[in-house]
Amino acid sequence: MSAHSEARGTLYLVPTPLDFGVTQAAPAAPSEWLPAETLDTARRLTHWITENAKSTRAFLKRVDALATLAAPVQAHQIVELPRAAHKKGDHAPQAGSDAQARELLAPALLGHDMGLVSEAGMPAIADPGSSIVRAAHAIGLRVVPLTGPISLMLALAASGLNGQSFAFVGYVPQEATERTKRLRELEAQALKTGQTQILIETPYRNAALLQALLQALHPHTRLAVCAALTLPRQVCRSALVQEWKRSPKAVAEDLPLDAPCVFLLGR
Amino acid sequence: MSAHSEARGTLYLVPTPLDFGVTQAAPAAPSEWLPAETLDTARRLTHWITENAKSTRAFLKRVDALATLAAPVQAHQIVELPRAAHKKGDHAPQAGSDAQARELLAPALLGHDMGLVSEAGMPAIADPGSSIVRAAHAIGLRVVPLTGPISLMLALAASGLNGQSFAFVGYVPQEATERTKRLRELEAQALKTGQTQILIETPYRNAALLQALLQALHPHTRLAVCAALTLPRQVCRSALVQEWKRSPKAVAEDLPLDAPCVFLLGR
């Protein structure tokens, strides 16, 4: 195939269900959360760039169970993002990372459509992948994002907090003094400008973050926690900090803080 | 039915396709962008709170065409958000707005599940609805967000900009001097902190905003524009400002700036 842009493949951003890593008696079919355009595209693609090849093969098997893939999973080319991209993110252009991203996109230059995928949710949002998308634009590929569940936005809509101005700030520091300082900075920003602040944490630290939020924030600040989004035990709770404090028992008992959570604060 | 919380209805946040207001020869079925859980819930509900009753009836007819609704559209109770909520948003608790929101949720206290919906995309994100969600939490309703297309996040993933830290800032001022000042503020924030800034505009002002961005921003700032998301003529373009300026003709000819657009800037 020629290198002419007409012959190049498209980079699709393929979202996956949010139940990754969740032990379930009977996992729901991915069609519960992924619409036809997303499933049809996933079925057709054979070249993937992913955060984790194993989880991508598992995803493809679930899609295959709904309707047969164009090619068997074993025949797919599935390459992983460089390790460095996993924890710290791959956005900052380190020495060589842009060149590496272009190498991973080589099949698209030969005319193959490709899929970018993460373990759960939308690639390149609160997850690695943006270095690949940037490289795709640089070499003139068409980039097409597909619809699927995005935990940050499900949580924002369900929070009752301001959805006309918001920021996702990622993780806060683990060390107690620094964490309190950062939470108060975010609260000051939210109260001053009305911009909802959205944060996440590793599940085993969710309970500690919730306690830190209740201690650090003003009684009249609104705090929302959405846990286990899209899953059967999903809970979204939103109340003023003083109201959260009035029922600490309910907080501890009803919120599945061992599941992935999104925390939101604002006015 | 009793007022006991067990007997209360749930408030579902129901996303809709992004093709609202777009003239199309043959509109795609909503199942292209809405997964089974969303469509099944929409089919079952009979009580709605909406930005626009007419667009909600049109949406329900499209869902009905895929598989019959539990009750005919004419039998649904569809109430609109107060007018004031439409343009300026309904988040700020004005005098009486919280009481008004609770009134709209009265059917849920009688045990009816309810749907909150906007004209296109996810309610309460870059759209009104958050006053209703806040009221739902205040009266102890369960709030469940459903999956569908969210233009801001489709654009963010497709932009190649930082998706680990980002802010949605809504609209910028229309007046030229103020607009330039605001765009440079947003750029300074993005370059200093790495936080991608996301903005929107009314379609008929998209071309003017793009010109203002190209004039105001530094040559090395990255600018992305995603237009007509999920539609056949969708385009996502991402490049440094100096690269955008090198091909002004391509910009003008290939980007459907008359369609809804999302603008993103960062490093």
In angstroms, the separation between the Cα of residue B72 and the nearest Cα of chain A is: 24
**DSSP assignment string, chain B:** ---SGGGPPEEEE--B-S-TT---SSPPPGGGTS-HHHHHHHHH--EEEES-HHHHHHHHHHHHHHS--SS-GGGSEEEEPPTHHHHH-S-S--TTHHHHHHHHTHHHHTT--EEEE-SSB-TTSSSS-HHHHHHHHHTT-EEEE-----HHHHHHHHHTS-SSSEEEEE---SSHHHHHHHHHHHHHHHHHH--EEEEE--GGGHHHHHHHHHHHS-TTSEEEEEESTTSTT-EEEEEEHHHHHH-HHHHHHHS-TTS-EEEEEE-
User: Do residues A42 and A123 share a domain?
Assistant: yes
Is residue A16 within 8 A of residue A83, CB to CB? The reply is no
Which residues between 36 and 75 in chain B have a beta carbon less than 8 angstroms from any beta carbon of chain A?
Answer: 36-37
User: Do residues A243 and A174 share a domain?
Assistant: yes
User: Do residues B46 and B17 share a domain?
Assistant: yes
How far, in Å, CA of A133 to CA of B224, rounded? 12
pLDDT in tens, A176-200: 999 999 999 999 999 999 999 999 9
Contacts of A162 in chain B (CB under 8 A): 89, 91, 130
User: Do residues B168 and B141 share a domain?
Assistant: no
User: Do residues A34 and A140 share a domain?
Assistant: yes
What ipTM goes with this model?
A: 0.95
User: Do residues B141 and B158 share a domain?
Assistant: no
Q: Are the Cβ atoms of A133 and B160 closer than 8 angstroms? A: yes
Of A162 and B2, the one with more pLDDT: A162
Which residues between 225 and 254 in chain B have a beta carbon less than 8 angstroms from any beta carbon of chain A?
Answer: 226, 229-230, 234, 236-239
Confidence of residue A98 (pLDDT cuts 50, 70, 90): confident
**Which residue, among B32, B122, B130, would best test binding to A if mutated, counting the most A CBs under 10 Å from its CB?**
B130
pLDDT in tens, A117-139: 999 999 999 999 999 999 999 99
User: Do residues A33 and A138 share a domain?
Assistant: yes
Among B145, B180, B213, give the residue marking a domain's end.
B145
Q: What average pLDDT does the segment A16-41 reach?
A: 91
User: Do residues B29 and B121 share a domain?
Assistant: yes
As a dihedral over the C-alpha atoms of residue B29, residue B35, residue B41, residue B47, rounded to 10 degrees, the angle is -50
Predicted pLDDT at B1: 38
**B19 interfacial to chain A (CB closer than 8 Å):** no
Q: Which element (helix H / strand E) includes A241?
A: helix A241-246
Is residue B148 within 8 A of residue B33, CB to CB? The reply is yes
Among B96, B129, B145, give the residue marking a domain's end.
B145
Predicted pLDDT at B3: 44
How far, in Å, CA of B162 to CA of A129, rounded? 9
Predicted pLDDT at A2: 40
Residue A74 belongs to domain with CATH number = 3.40.1010.10
Predicted pLDDT at A159: 98
Per-residue pLDDT of chain B (267 residues; tens, 9 = 90+): 344 456 899 999 999 999 987 777 788 999 999 999 999 999 999 999 999 999 999 999 999 999 999 999 999 999 999 876 555 567 776 656 788 899 999 999 999 999 999 999 999 999 999 999 999 999 999 999 999 999 999 999 999 999 999 999 999 999 999 999 999 999 999 999 999 999 999 999 999 999 999 999 999 999 999 999 999 999 999 999 999 999 876 666 789 999 999 999 999
Predicted pLDDT at B2: 40
Predicted pLDDT at B10: 98
**Which distant-in-sequence residues (6+ apart) come within 8 Å of A97 by Cβ?**
A82, A84, A85, A90, A131
Q: Are the Cβ atoms of B154 and A145 closer than 8 angstroms? A: yes
Residue A204 belongs to domain with CATH number = 3.30.950.10
Q: Are the Cβ atoms of A145 and B229 closer than 8 angstroms? A: yes
Confidence of residue A33 (pLDDT cuts 50, 70, 90): very high
User: Do residues A162 and A60 share a domain?
Assistant: no
Contacts of A169 in chain B (CB under 8 A): 165
Which residues between 126 and 145 in chain B have a beta carbon less than 8 angstroms from any beta carbon of chain A?
Answer: 126-127, 129-131, 133-137, 143-145
User: Do residues B178 and B239 share a domain?
Assistant: yes
Among A145, A168, A183, give the residue marking a domain's end.
A145
- pLDDT of A1 strictly over 50: no
How far, in Å, CA of B92 to CA of A191, rounded? 12
Tally of domains within chain A: 2
User: Do residues A140 and A262 share a domain?
Assistant: no
User: Do residues B13 and B138 share a domain?
Assistant: yes
Domain that holds residue B55: 5-145
**B89 interfacial to chain A (CB closer than 8 Å):** yes
**B195 interfacial to chain A (CB closer than 8 Å):** yes
Nearest CA in chain B to A199: B165
